Structure 1
Amino acid sequence: MSRTTARSVLLAVAVLLIAANLRPAVVGVSPLIAQIRADLGIGSAVAGLVTTLPVLCFGLLAPVAGRLARRLGVETLLLAALVVLAGGILIRLVPSLATLLLGSMLAGVAIAIGNTLMPVVVKRDFPHRTGLMTGAYSTMISGGGAVAAAVMVPIEDATGLGWRASLALWAVWAGLAILLWLPWVRGARRTARAGTGTPAAPQVRGLWRSPLAWQVTLVMGLQSLQFYSFVAWAPTLFVDQGRSPAQAGLLLSLSGLTSLVTSATTPILATRRRTQFHMVAVLIALWVVGYVGLLLDAGTLAPLWMVLIGLGQGVGISLGLTLITLRSPDAAHTSELSGMAQGVGYVVAATGPFALGAIHDATGSWTWPVVTLLVLLVPLGLAGLGAARDRQVGTPARPDDARPDPTREATEPIA
C-alpha cells in the first residue's frame, strides 16, 4: 500500500468515526423519553423539545459552519465541534430539565457543524469516490442512530445507571473521534504554516435565488422532518399500545438497522444515473406503505412496517446528502449548498417532533400524527422531482439533458 493510499484510508476512517457521532446524542434520547417524562413530570410537547432543540440547532448553525470553516479551517472546526459535542453530552448529567435542554442544544450545535462539513470533506478529499464515501458516511450516521436506539434501554437496565448516566456514555465515543481527528488538525496547521495548502475557495453568491438549490433544500428538510418526527415518537407510540420500553426501543432500532442497507447503496445507485427520479419514487413508496401499514395494523405486523420505514429513512438521508454533492460543481458550491440545505432544512425538520407531540396531546391518538407524516410526503415528492434533474447550481443546463424541456431556461439562475 502506497503512502498516499494509506493516508486516504486513515482519513476515511477518521471521517467515518466523526459521522458515527452525528446521531447517538439525539436519537439515544427517544427510547428513554417515557422515563424522562416521568422523572421530570413533563408532557409530550415539552418532551418533544428534547429532540426538537438539537434539530433546530442543526438548521440555525449550518449556514454559519461554512463561513467559520473558511476562517478556522475545516479540520480545526470539526475538532471544536467534537469537543462541544462531548461537553453537551456530559452536561446532561446535571439533574434538571434546564441542563438536559442545554446539553441537547450544545450537541445540536456540534452536530450541525459536522452535518454541514461532511459533504465538503467528501467533495474535497474524495472527488473520485463521491458516491462510495457518501454511502459510507451516511451509513455511519444511520448506524450510529440505530445502535443508540437499540442499546439505551438495555444499558440502563443492565447497569442501573439511570437515563442520565446512560446517555452520558456517548461522550466516550466522541472522545475517541477527537483522538483520531487530532493528527489531521496538526497536519492542516503545518500545511497552512508552510503555505502549501489549497487556496481559499471563492465565496459563492446568489445561491439563495436558485430554484434548484431550494428544491435540494426542501428534499433535505422534509426527509429530515420525517426522520426526526418518527424517531422521536415511535417508541412512545408502541409503549402506549402496551409494549415495554425495551420492546419499543428494539422496534425503533429495527428501522435504524434496516436503514443501513439503503444508506450504503442509495448514493452508489444515485450516482450511476444522471437523474435520480427512480430514487425519489422508491423513497415515497417505502414510506407510504410503511405508514399506512402502521395505521392498519401496528401489532403483529409492526416489525414489517418498521423495516419498510427504515429502508425509506436510509434512502432519505443518503439521497439528500448525495443531491448536495451532485448538484454542486465544486467544493465551494458544495459548502454553501450544504449550509443552505441543512440550515433551512433542519429548521423545517425541527418543527416535526414538537408538532406531532402537540397533535397527539390534542387528539389523544397517534392516528393523526401518522396521517400528518403521510400528507407531508406530497411536497417532498414534488421537491424531489425538481432536485433529481441532471443540473448543477450556477452552471448552464446540459443540452443533452435526460429530460429535455424546451420551455426551461438555459441556465440555472444563481446570480
Structure 2
Amino acid sequence: MSSQQHQRALVYKSLWHAGPWLLAVGIILVGANLRASITSVGPLIGLIKDSLHISNTLSGLLTTLPLLAFALLSPFVAQLSRRFGSPLVIFAALLLLTAGIVVRSTLGVTALFVGTAMLGLAIAVCNVLLPSLIKEEFPRNSGLMTGVYSVSMNVVAATASGLSIPLALNGGMGWRGALGIWAIIGVVGILLWVPQLLKVRRTANQAVVSARTVNVYKSSLAWKVTLFMGLQSALFYVPAAWFPEMMSGQGMDSETAGWMLSVLQFSQMPFTFIVPIWAARVKDQRLLVLIMAVLYFIGLGGFLLGATQWSVVWVICIGIAGGFAFPLVMMFFNLRTRTPQQAAELSGMAQSFGYLLAATGPTLFGYLHDATQGWTIPLLLLLCLSVLLMFIGLGAAKKRYVGGEVDDQAAI
C-alpha cells in the first residue's frame, strides 16, 4: 500500500469512528437550511411587490411554489435514496438549494420564481430523508435528534425573518441582498456534509426489501399522517407569508412586524426540542395534539377578535402550537413505521400530498384578503384548519403502525 493510500485509509477510519458526531453536526446544518430561505420572504413581501409590481395573489406564490415543489418531488425521494444513497442525495440537494437562493436574488421576476422553485425542490429532498436517516442512524435517540435539528431549523428561520427588514433597509442591501445572504448558510452546510460522502455507506442495492411489503397509499393511518402534515404546514406557511403584512395593515411598523414573525419562530424553539423527546416516551401522543389545538384556538381567536394590543401574546400562542405540530409529524414518520425505508416512504407520501394541500394556503389567504379587503375571512379559514388539524391529529397520534396492528413491544 502506498503512503497516499495509507493516508486515505486513515482518513476513512477516523471518519468512521467519528461518524455519529459528524453526522449529527451535518444534520444540524441541513436543518438550519430548511426554512430560512422561506421565512425571510414574508417581511419583504411589501418591498418585493413594490419593486416588481406584482399582486398579492402572485406574491403569495413566493411561499406557495416551494410547497408545490415539495409535493412534486417528495414521492420520488425514497427511490433516489435507494439508488444513490441518502448522503449523496442530500449533498446534491444542498447544492441546488444554494444555487436557488442565488438565482432568486439576482435577476428579474422570472428568476425570482425559478430560484424559489429550485430551493423548494432541494428542501423537499431533505425534508423526506432526514426522518428516515435519523431512524436508521440514531434508533435509540430519534426524539433527541429530531428535537436538535428542529431547533437548528427554527433558530435560523427566526433569525432570517427578524433580520430581513433591517438588512434590506438599514443595511442598505435591498430585498435582493436580504434574501441572497442566506446562501452563506447553504455553503456552510455543503462543506460540513462532505465527510458523509467519504464514509463507507451501504449501497442502493442494500435497501431493506421488507419495507416494500407495506403500501402506504392503502393505509388509513398513513393518510391521517399526510393530512396532519398538510394542515400543520399550512398553519406555518400562511403566517410566515402574511402575518407581517397583516400586522402592518393593523398599524404596526414593518420592522416590528418582521420581528413579530421572529417572535413566532423563537417561541417555537423550546418546544421543537422538548416535544419529540416527550412524544418518543409516551404510549401515544393525543395529549400533545390537544395542547397544540388549544394554543392555535387562542392565538388565531385573539387575532380574529381584533385585540391587536395583545398581538405578541397571540403570536406566541401560535408559535408554541407550531412548536408542537411540526416535531409531532416528524416523529409520526418514525413512530408509525417499523423500518427506515418505511419511514422514508411515509415521509415522501405525507410531504407530497400534505404540501400539495398546504400550497393552497398562502395563495388562498392572499386571494381572500384581496377579495374582502380585510383579514376576518382569511383568519376564519385558519381557525377552521386548526379544528380539522386537531381531529386528524387525534387519529394519527394513536399507537399503531402503517400496514399493521398495534405492537406494544415496538422499540422507540
Q: What band does the TM-score fall into relative to the shorter chain?
A: over 0.9
Query: 1:27 touches 1:145 (CA, 8 Å); kept in 2?
Result: yes
Indicate which of 325, 329, 340 corresponds to 1:331: 340
- Please report how far the alpha carbon of residue 297 of structure 1 lies from its aligned counterpart in structure 2 after TM superposition: 3.7
Residue equivalent to 1:265: 274
Distance in 1, matches of 2:282 and 2:408, equals: 17
Query: 1:23 touches 1:144 (CA, 8 Å); kept in 2?
Result: yes
1:94 counterpart letter in structure 2? T
Q: Spell out, residue by residue over 1:259-278, the C-alpha distance to the aligned partner (whole angstroms, 9 max, x if none).
A: 10111111111111111000
2:236 counterpart letter in structure 1? F
Q: Spell out, residue by residue over 1:3-45, the C-alpha distance to the aligned partner (whole angstroms, 9 max, x if none).
A: 8774312210111110110011111111100000111111111
Residue equivalent to 1:199: 206
Distance in 1, matches of 2:301 and 2:352, equals: 30
2:41 counterpart letter in structure 1? V
Residue equivalent to 1:161: 173
What aligned pairs does 1:336-351 form with structure 2 within 5 A after superposition?
336-351=345-360
Query: 1:328 touches 1:393 (CA, 8 Å); kept in 2?
Result: yes
Relative to structure 1, is the Cα distance of residues 79 and 399 closer, same or farther in structure 2, using a 3 angstrom cutoff? closer
Residue equivalent to 1:53: 65
- Please report how far the alpha carbon of residue 300 of structure 1 lies from its aligned counterpart in structure 2 after TM superposition: 1.7
1:79 counterpart letter in structure 2? F
Residue equivalent to 1:245: 254
Tell me, yes or no, if structure 1 residue 395 matches structure 2 residue 380: no
Indicate which of 140, 150, 156 corresponds to 1:144: 156
2:77 counterpart letter in structure 1? A
Residue equivalent to 1:365: 374
What aligned pairs does 1:104-119 form with structure 2 within 5 A after superposition?
104-119=116-131
Query: 1:229 touches 1:356 (CA, 8 Å); kept in 2?
Result: yes
Task: Give the TM-score normalised by structure 2.
Answer: 0.92
Q: Spell out, residue by residue over 1:364-392, the C-alpha distance to the aligned partner (whole angstroms, 9 max, x if none).
A: 00111111100112221121111111101
What aligned pairs does 1:1-40 form with structure 2 within 5 A after superposition?
6-40=18-52
Query: 2:158 touches 2:262 (CA, 8 Å); kept in 1?
Result: yes
Residue equivalent to 1:320: 329
Residue equivalent to 2:316: 307
Distance in 1, matches of 2:67 and 2:124, equals: 8
- Please report how far the alpha carbon of residue 199 of structure 1 lies from its aligned counterpart in structure 2 after TM superposition: 2.4
- Please report how far the alpha carbon of residue 72 of structure 1 lies from its aligned counterpart in structure 2 after TM superposition: 1.1
1:291 counterpart letter in structure 2? L
- Please report how far the alpha carbon of residue 400 of structure 1 lies from its aligned counterpart in structure 2 after TM superposition: 9.7
Q: Secondary structure at the match of 1:121?
A: helix
Distance in 2, matches of 1:317 and 1:59, equals: 17
1:32 counterpart letter in structure 2? L
Q: Secondary structure at the match of 1:350?
A: helix
- Please report how far the alpha carbon of residue 141 of structure 1 lies from its aligned counterpart in structure 2 after TM superposition: 2.0
Deviates more, 1:157-166 or 1:284-293: 157-166
Query: 2:46 touches 2:245 (CA, 8 Å); kept in 1?
Result: yes
Residue equivalent to 2:4: none
Residue equivalent to 2:219: 210
Distance in 2, matches of 1:34 and 1:138, equals: 29
Deviates more, 1:325-334 or 1:94-103: 94-103
Tell me, yes or no, if structure 1 residue 279 matches structure 2 residue 291: no
Distance in 2, matches of 1:5 and 1:228, equals: 40
- Please report how far the alpha carbon of residue 396 of structure 1 lies from its aligned counterpart in structure 2 after TM superposition: 2.6
Residue equivalent to 1:409: none
2:355 counterpart letter in structure 1? Y
Gaps of 5+ in 1: 402-415
Q: Secondary structure at the match of 1:127?
A: coil
- Please report how far the alpha carbon of residue 324 of structure 1 lies from its aligned counterpart in structure 2 after TM superposition: 1.0
Residue equivalent to 1:180: 192
Query: 1:284 touches 1:381 (CA, 8 Å); kept in 2?
Result: yes
1:127 counterpart letter in structure 2? P
Q: Which has the higher helix share?
A: 2
- Please report how far the alpha carbon of residue 95 of structure 1 lies from its aligned counterpart in structure 2 after TM superposition: 3.1
Relative to structure 1, is the Cα distance of residues 400 and 71 closer, same or farther in structure 2, using a 3 angstrom cutoff? closer
Distance in 2, matches of 1:74 and 1:324, equals: 16
Gaps of 5+ in 2: 1-13
Tell me, yes or no, if structure 1 residue 87 matches structure 2 residue 93: no
Q: Percent identity?
A: 38
Query: 1:150 touches 1:252 (CA, 8 Å); kept in 2?
Result: yes
Distance in 2, matches of 1:140 and 1:175, equals: 16
Distance in 1, matches of 2:385 and 2:105, equals: 36
Task: Give the TM-score normalised by structure 1.
Answer: 0.92
